[in-house]
Amino acid sequence: MVAIVESALHELRARLAEISDLSRAAGVLGWDQRVTMPSQGTEARAEQLSTLGRIAHERFTDDEIGRLLDRAEPEVASLPYDADDRSLVRVTRRDWEKARRVPSELRAEMTLQGARGHHAWVEARRTSDFASFLPYLERNVELKRRYVECFEWSDSPYTPLLDDYEPGMLTTEVRDVFAALRPRLTELVASAPEVDASFLAGSDFPPKAQQAFAERVIRTMGFDDDAWRLDPTVHPFCTSFSNRDVRLTTRYRPDDLESIWSTMHEAGHGLYAHGIADALGRTPLGGAPSLGLNESQSRTWENLVGRSRPFWEHWYGPLQDTFPALRDIELDAFVRAINRAEPGLIRVDADETTYSLHIILRFELEQELLDGTVALADLPEVWNARMKEFLGVDVPDDARGVLQDVHWSGGGIGYFPTYALGNVISLQIWEVVRRALPDLDEQIASGDLRTLSDWLRDNLYSLGRKLTPKETIERLTGSPTIEPEPYLAYLGDKLASVAV
Amino acid sequence: MVAIVESALHELRARLAEISDLSRAAGVLGWDQRVTMPSQGTEARAEQLSTLGRIAHERFTDDEIGRLLDRAEPEVASLPYDADDRSLVRVTRRDWEKARRVPSELRAEMTLQGARGHHAWVEARRTSDFASFLPYLERNVELKRRYVECFEWSDSPYTPLLDDYEPGMLTTEVRDVFAALRPRLTELVASAPEVDASFLAGSDFPPKAQQAFAERVIRTMGFDDDAWRLDPTVHPFCTSFSNRDVRLTTRYRPDDLESIWSTMHEAGHGLYAHGIADALGRTPLGGAPSLGLNESQSRTWENLVGRSRPFWEHWYGPLQDTFPALRDIELDAFVRAINRAEPGLIRVDADETTYSLHIILRFELEQELLDGTVALADLPEVWNARMKEFLGVDVPDDARGVLQDVHWSGGGIGYFPTYALGNVISLQIWEVVRRALPDLDEQIASGDLRTLSDWLRDNLYSLGRKLTPKETIERLTGSPTIEPEPYLAYLGDKLASVAV
Return the percentage of chain A with pLDDT > 70, whole number: 99
Q: What is the pLDDT of residue A6?
A: 55
Going by C-alpha positions, the residue among A17, A212, A31, A39 that lies closest to residue B35 is A31
Confidence tier at B202 by pLDDT (50, 70, 90): confident
Return the percentage of chain B with pLDDT > 90, whole number: 95
Q: What is the pLDDT of residue A214?
A: 97
Please list, in sequence order, all residues whose beta carbon lies within 8 angstroms of the beta carbon of residue B149, skipping any fewer than 6 positions away. Answer: none
Residue B60 in contact with partner chain A when CB distance is under 8 A: no
Q: Is the pLDDT of residue B216 over 80?
A: yes
Residue B382 in contact with partner chain A when CB distance is under 8 A: no
Q: Which of A54, A218, A241 to mutate to test the interface with B (most CBs of B within 10 A)?
A: A241
Report chain A residues whose CB lies below 8 A from the CB of B242.
Answer: 41, 43-45
Determine the average pLDDT of the residues in B29-41: 95
Determine the average pLDDT of the residues in B463-490: 98
Q: What is the pLDDT of residue B459?
A: 98
Q: What is the pLDDT of residues B111-135, one digit of tens each?
A: 889 988 998 999 999 999 999 999 9
Going by C-alpha positions, the residue among B356, B368, B362, B351 that lies closest to residue B405 is B362
Contact B282 A47 (CB under 8 A): yes
Please list, in sequence order, all residues whose beta carbon lies within 8 angstroms of the beta carbon of residue B63, skipping any fewer than 6 positions away. Answer: none
Contact B244 A22 (CB under 8 A): no
Residue A166: active-site member = no
CB A198 within 8 A of CB A325: no
How far the first Cα of chain B sits from its last, in Å, is 72
Strand order in the sheet with A238-242: A228-232, A245-250, A238-242
Q: Are strands B245-250 and B228-232 parallel, antiparallel or unpaired?
A: parallel
Q: What is the pLDDT of residue B203?
A: 82
Confidence tier at A462 by pLDDT (50, 70, 90): very high
* A140: amino acid identity, one letter: N
Confidence tier at B342 by pLDDT (50, 70, 90): very high
Q: Is the pLDDT of residue A167 over 50?
A: yes
Q: What is the pLDDT of residues A373-411, one digit of tens each?
A: 999 999 999 999 999 999 999 999 999 999 999 999 999
Confidence tier at A5 by pLDDT (50, 70, 90): very low
Determine the average pLDDT of the residues in B463-473: 98
Confidence tier at B6 by pLDDT (50, 70, 90): low
Task: Please give the Cα distance from A226 to B37 (Å, whole number).
Answer: 9
- Nearest residue of A to residue B20, measured between CA atoms: A48
Q: What is the pLDDT of residues B147-192, one digit of tens each?
A: 999 999 999 999 999 999 999 999 999 999 999 999 999 999 999 9
Going by C-alpha positions, the residue among A395, A299, A305 that lies closest to residue A346 is A395
SS3 (DSSP) at A91: helix
Q: Are strands A245-250 and A228-232 parallel, antiparallel or unpaired?
A: parallel
Determine the average pLDDT of the residues in A161-165: 97
Return the percentage of chain B with pLDDT > 70, whole number: 99
* B169: amino acid identity, one letter: M
Determine the average pLDDT of the residues in A99-121: 92
Q: Is the pLDDT of residue B401 over 70?
A: yes
Determine the average pLDDT of the residues in B32-45: 94
Residue A282 in contact with partner chain B when CB distance is under 8 A: yes
Q: What is the pLDDT of residues B261-301, one digit of tens each?
A: 999 999 999 999 999 999 999 999 999 999 999 999 999 99
Residue A14 in contact with partner chain B when CB distance is under 8 A: no
Please, how many CA atoms are within 13 Å of residue A246, restricted to the half-sphere of its CB? 25
Q: What is the pLDDT of residue B62?
A: 98
Determine the average pLDDT of the residues in A456-460: 98
Phi, psi for residue B248 in degrees, rounded to 5: -100, 140
Q: What is the pLDDT of residue B5?
A: 45
Determine the average pLDDT of the residues in A53-77: 96
Q: What is the pLDDT of residues B421-434, one digit of tens each?
A: 999 999 999 999 99
Q: What is the pLDDT of residues A226-285, one digit of tens each?
A: 999 999 998 899 999 999 999 999 999 999 999 999 999 999 999 999 999 999 999 999
Q: Is the pLDDT of residue B7 over 90?
A: no
Determine the average pLDDT of the residues in A294-321: 98
Of A52, A227, A229, the CB nearest to B25: A52
* Chain mean pLDDT for chain B: 96
Confidence tier at B1 by pLDDT (50, 70, 90): very low
Confidence tier at B2 by pLDDT (50, 70, 90): very low
Please, how many CA atoms are within 13 Å of residue B42, restricted to the half-sphere of its CB? 5
Q: Which of B28, B33, B58, B215 to mutate to test the interface with A (most CBs of A within 10 A)?
A: B28
How far the first Cα of chain A sits from its last, in Å, is 72
Determine the average pLDDT of the residues in B216-224: 98
SS (H, E, C) A124-191: HHHHCCHHHHHHHHHHHHHHHHHHHCCCCCCCCCCHHHHHHHCCCCCHHHHHHHHHHHHHHHHHHHHC
CA angle in degrees (0–180, nearest 5) for B405-B411-B416: 50
Q: What is the pLDDT of residue A201?
A: 87
Determine the average pLDDT of the residues in A183-190: 95
Q: Is the pLDDT of residue B91 over 80?
A: yes
